[in-house]
């Protein structure tokens, strides 16, 4: 997936970061865990109807760390997000189905790991149906896809 992301950006340049590139675009996500690394904050995505990590379109922003933090704050209301890892945590390329006038396309998702206090107040954005701190060992009950399970498996590798 990393190689696909690199090739995509190399072939599309700055346009790869814009939602207007209809074949696909770069997105940024936040894998948010509690300090004990036993829970993650998920959003029930309004359009896709499933539980996912927070994140979304970078809207032309090529600083993906900043875009991931912005998306996480907008979608959760969390003001105090700390990077749990300085670099990229994960990369995923996934298909987005056609919806209305928007054709099917791919998201080249660059994911960063954050830590947050699960006692901090949350604000559900218009993009979500709900937010929940989910125990990592309960993710299957939320019907998450394999890419979210991969993020969970990698959580043990995060520095304390």
Q: Is pLDDT larger for residue 34 or for residue 47?
A: 34
Assign residue 7 the CATH number of its domain.
3.90.79.10
- pLDDT for position 160: 82
Confidence band (pLDDT; 50, 70, 90) for 48?
A: confident
Least confident of 93-97, 105-109, 152-156: 93-97
The continuous run of DSSP H or E covering 146 comes out as helix 146-154
- 56: helix, coil or strand? strand
Tell me, rounded to whole angstroms, the distance of Cα 50 from its chain centroid.
13
Number of separate domains in the chain: 1
- Residue whose token pair is 């499933």: 50
Range of the domain at 138: 2-157
């Amino acid at each position: 997936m990393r190689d696909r992301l690199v090739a995509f950006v190399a072939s599309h340049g700055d346009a790869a970061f814009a939602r207007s590139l209809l074949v696909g675009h770069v997105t940024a996500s936040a894998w948010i865990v509690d300090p004990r690394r036993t829970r993650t904050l998920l959003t029930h995505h309004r359009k896709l109807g499933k539980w996912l990590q927070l994140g979304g379109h970078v809207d032309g922003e090529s600083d993906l760390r900043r875009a991931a933090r912005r998306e996480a704050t907008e979608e959760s209301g969390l003001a105090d997000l700390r990077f749990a890892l300085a670099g990229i945590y994960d990369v995923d390329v996934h298909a987005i189905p056609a919806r209305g006038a928007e054709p099917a396309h791919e998201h080249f998702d660059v994911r960063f790991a954050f830590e947050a206090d699960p006692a901090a107040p949350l604000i559900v954005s218009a993009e979500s149906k709900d937010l929940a701190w989910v125990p990592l060992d309960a993710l299957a009950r939320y019907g998450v896809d394999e890419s979210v399970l991969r993020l969970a498996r990698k959580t043990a590798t995060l520095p304390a």
